[in-house]
Amino acid sequence: MKEACGVFGVFAPGRGVAQLTFDGLYALQHRGQESAGMAVSDGEAITVVKDMGLVTTVFDERTIACLPGHIAIGHTRYSTTGSSEWRNAQPVYRSVGRVGFALGHNGNLTNTPALAELHGMLPGVVATDSDLVAELLALAHPAASADASPLDIPDPADRDGGPLGGGLLELALRQVLPLVQGAFSFVVLDGHHLMGIRDPNGFRPLCLGRLGPTDAPEGWVLASESPALDVIGASFVRELEPGELMVIDEKGPRSEQIFPAERLETHLCIFEFVYFARPDSRLYGREIHGARRRMGELLAEQRPVEADMVMGVPDSGVPAAEGYARASGIPYGQGLVKNRYIGRTFITPDQGARTALIRRKLNPLRDNIAGKRLVVVDDSIVRGTTTRALVEMLRDAGASEVHMRVSSPPFQWPCFYGIDTPTREELLAARMSREEIEEYLGTDSLEYLTLEHLVEAIDAPGAGFCNACLTGDYPAPVPVSFRQAAPA
């Protein structure tokens, strides 16, 4: 069960936090279209609304109006084959005696079965890795101890206890987090606090924003990507550090590094830069669009070709195509129109259905490409299904040559840290040589950006990346089931 998701959190007394969360999630919709949800706390009760579908399907004005409170977290979940179920929607909620908490997770844990077994849970009791963390937090929560009556109203001292003043939930987090391995950016709330945590490798992004002016903040926001701050008028403050636990309440944000130095090693997912994040997001202090444009420029240097027009595959290939055109001097043009009401087509179970979806999603501009030698830029080739159908479509529409340029290296290894990918057998570059790929795709030439150029384009000196999908070099343990299946 892999999920790449969008998470959001807000602490803002006096503001409609449900509306802010809706707006934030809407800006993070690209990170997950399977389900959406939010948990809102008014200090007394936590209300969770979640369902399958897009943010706008799950929420409308009436639902939002019924969610008063001053703290909220939200989640958009990415579609994965076979696990498209209501029970996997987030945030997950648990109550412990009279207190409750909710959690939203972006990433994928790699030791879920081992942890579940360790805690005596029967297979199937927890639905997902995120559910497991919620269960472990509930077990570790001091309010769950034998001498805490379920009717006890938590003592204010408990409420604000803990080194960061995050109360009992903070204590539970400090116990559970060191046990979990893999990728996690969590947003968590209880009746009084909003918390955010990034795993010690920083696989998935998480940033902090502020509502209101610096000298008189009106609230605080956590989000997977910075555009979720922009849309609600919050200012970007900073990215959370890998391993950082942040507690936010009326006293503002406080945070601490909670992992030992030997577990801290930054490996932000390089695919966030290639494909996953929005172009207007900022990671490592850089706007993603600029990095993608430079990827295209370096690609042009790496493999020039004589052609009449450079075009990008909408939407993700467009910034790199702009860069390729700029560096090569070949005019940039549009060759495809995308139906903007269609989401991402990648995770559709069978090949036939995917090809049909691509035709529904992209249509060629015949007059603009007929007779032309095209350089076609896309961000990545995973299974090759889309690309193959696309090349055929462009040729049918009259392109005289199709030169494929990919702004990332060959995708050869499955991701275990939060991006849903097919098995190794289904990854085009894992099962075919370069020549075979060219022939399969039907291109006149094909070039992938090298890893060195990709890192150069991102231009974040000293920054650490996870590039396991490109190199097979997994920075955190991978699930046992994969290790057994993988060739030695």
Q: Supply the DSSP symbol for 454.
A: H
CB of 113 within 8 A of CB of 130?
A: no
Residue 373 CB, shortest distance to ligand AMP, in Å, is 21
- In the complex, which residues of this chain contact ligand AMP (CB under 6 A)? 275, 313, 316, 344, 346, 378-387, 419-420
Name the minimum Å distance from CB 4 to ligand AMP. 7
Query: β-strand 244-249 against 219-223: which pairing, if any?
Result: unpaired
* Rounded least distance, CB 411 to ligand AMP, Å: 8
With CA atoms as reference, report the closest residue to 304 among 387, 439, 405: 405
Q: Which of 5, 207, 269, 415 is catalytic?
A: 5
Q: Which residue is nearest to ligand AMP (CB)?
A: 346
Angstrom distance (rounded) from CA 201 to CA 179: 14
What minimum distance in Å lies between the beta carbon of 408 and ligand AMP? 9
CB 206 within 8 A of CB 185: yes
CB-wise, 220 or 332, nearer to ligand AMP? 332
User: Whole-number minimum distance, CB 275 to ligand AMP, in Å?
Assistant: 5
Instruction: Kindly give the interhelix angle for 351-361 and 385-396, rounded to the nearest 10 degrees.
Output: 50
Beta-sheet pairing, 92-96 with 99-106: antiparallel
Query: How many angstroms from the chain centroid is the CA of residue 85?
Result: 19
Q: How far is CA 115 from CA 140, 197, 206, 256, in A?
A: 14, 19, 25, 25
Helix (H, G, I), strand (E, B) or coil at 277: coil
Residue 221 Cβ vs ligand AMP, minimum distance, rounded to whole Å: 26
DSSP string, 221-265: EEESSTHHHHTTTPEEEEEPPTTEEEEEETTEEEEEE-S-GGG--
User: Closer CB to ligand AMP, residue 240 or residue 419?
Assistant: 419
Nearer to ligand AMP, 172 or 288 (CB): 288
Active site residue 5: yes
Q: Which is nearer to ligand AMP, 399 or 419 (CB)?
A: 419
166 vs 384, beta carbon nearer ligand AMP: 384
To 5 degrees, how large is the angle CA 331–CA 337–CA 338?
130
> CA-CA distance, 379 to 392, in Å (whole number)?
18
If the CB atoms of residues 263 and 344 are measured against ligand AMP, the closer one turns out to be: 344
Q: Which residues are catalytic?
A: 5
